[in-house]
Amino acid sequence: MFISLSSQRKWKIAKSDSKATSLREQGNVAYKKTPNEPAKALQLYNQSICMAKQGSKDLGLGYANRSAVFFNNKLYRECLQNIELARCNNYPAEMMPKLLQREERCKLLLEAGSTSTTEHNTTSHCAIKSCLELSKDGTGICTNRSLEVGEKVLLEKSFVLVLEAELAYERCDYCGASNEHNLLPCRGCTAVMYCSEECQEQSLQRYHQFECEIVDDLQLLFRGPKPARMFHVILRLFWHAVLLLLEDPEGFVKRIGTPAEMEKYRDPFGLEPSDYILYLNATCPDKPAYDKKDQTGRCVSQIMTILMYVIAVEENTSVWPRLEGKVGKKKLLDLLFRLVIRTDRLVEDSMDHAACFYPFACLLQRSDSPNAEQLLQDLQSVVVLKCPVAEGQEITISKKNINR
């Protein structure tokens, strides 16, 4: 039995028009001070947009102010997007003529060919050489044909990521894109923003439907040294298991608890992304492989598992009532612990912007004499061969720090 932590938890930060106004005014001051360096002003406008209540004029004013910054920086498509958002979110009627004038000027400039803008990439999260496959022992990646030096064999966007807290109003919480600060706020909390409606919907479906109610508690739990965000990545992977349980409780229990069924999920190359969590369950050890002297590591894993489970599941009103009466509910704690004990192996935290999970890169074995190099570029993991690799040979990367 776990001790309730509800008495020690702080209330979720509520949206507030007065705070939104204050942040917007700070943005105005920042922009007037350094108009040629709008990043600080845009961050404050984003915070204001996140803080404003749905349906309030402050939300419309925040989008309008942001549109002005984009216009002045010749980002005309982004300007038009924000003008439309302002119009749809109760922008004051008495101020509308000025906004419409800006809109008309944007359209004229776009027609004249001034189209500086950013684009959102919605392609698949990974590209893998067709010759790569799971090694015979199931612990690494090998090739079924010879490969030449310099070949790019694996490129992955992060399947799950967690931003550093200071970037919450600068980058998309789902894909990590900066998108020139042209971000959309979560409608239910003040902590996350998205670069597109698609990312907002994907986030809601995969994890934010569970995190929105407890986002402030999670920020407290995972604050401090950067490696703490690795546990948040694990939690976002864990939500995939919760989704599978809610969709089909009996099927979920069968797939994670039956040896014959678990065998079907030991090769990630043949799986849909929604089943990656089943692969991790099938390959996570039943017991942590700690050195007998490493009691600290064991205790940290146990404590973090309990804290995460209590805050994220047992005391989370968006989760616990939906699990009531579901078979397999008790297996969730065990699965979470098995993920936590593999945190270092599953999560990449060497980047400045985020901690990430790359399903295939984390399979690569480490070696003192690697034949490949892993590069991290714009939240993508790229694996390039450093020397020729023979048919049947395993792809390995360095034990040292990854290049960036």
Digit-coded pLDDT (tens) for 306-345: 999 999 999 999 999 999 999 889 999 999 999 999 999 9
Q: What is the pLDDT of residue 299?
A: 84
pLDDT given at position 114: 45
Higher pLDDT, 41 or 180: 41
402 falls in which pLDDT band (50, 70, 90)? low
Closest of 361, 362, 354, 400 to residue 378, by C-alpha: 354
What backbone torsions phi and psi does residue 391 show, to the nearest 5 degrees?
Answer: -55, 130
What does the pLDDT read at residue 115?
41
In the predicted model, is pLDDT for residue 6 greater than 50?
no
Mean residue pLDDT of the chain comes to: 89
Give the range among 2-16, 23-37, 79-93, 310-324 with minimum mean pLDDT. 2-16
Give the pLDDT of residue 43: 93
- pLDDT at position 291: 58
pLDDT at 190: 94
* pLDDT top residue among 114 and 130: 130
Query: Is the predicted pLDDT of residue 121 greater than 60, yes or no?
Result: no
Residue 8: its pLDDT value, please? 47
Instruction: Give residue-wise pLDDT tens across range 139-182.
Output: 999 999 999 999 999 999 999 999 999 999 999 999 999 887 89
- pLDDT band at 294; cut points 50, 70, 90: low
Interval 46-87: pLDDT, tens = 999 999 999 899 999 999 999 999 999 888 999 999 999 999
pLDDT mean over 133-137: 93
pLDDT tens by residue, 174-213:
999 988 789 999 999 999 999 999 999 999 999 999 999 9
Q: What confidence score (pLDDT) does residue 333 get? A: 94
Average pLDDT over residues 103-115: 81
Q: Summarize the confidence of residues 123-147 as an average pLDDT.
A: 90
Domain ranges, ordered by start, for the chain:
17-112, 159-357
Predicted confidence (pLDDT) at residue 5 exceeds the cutoff of 60: no
The pLDDT score that the predictor gives to residue 119 is 39
In CATH, what number does 17-112 get?
A: 1.25.40.10
Residue 2 has pLDDT above 50, yes or no: no
Confidence of residue 288 (pLDDT cuts 50, 70, 90): low
The answer on pLDDT for 10 being more than 70 is: no
The pLDDT assigned to 120 comes to: 38
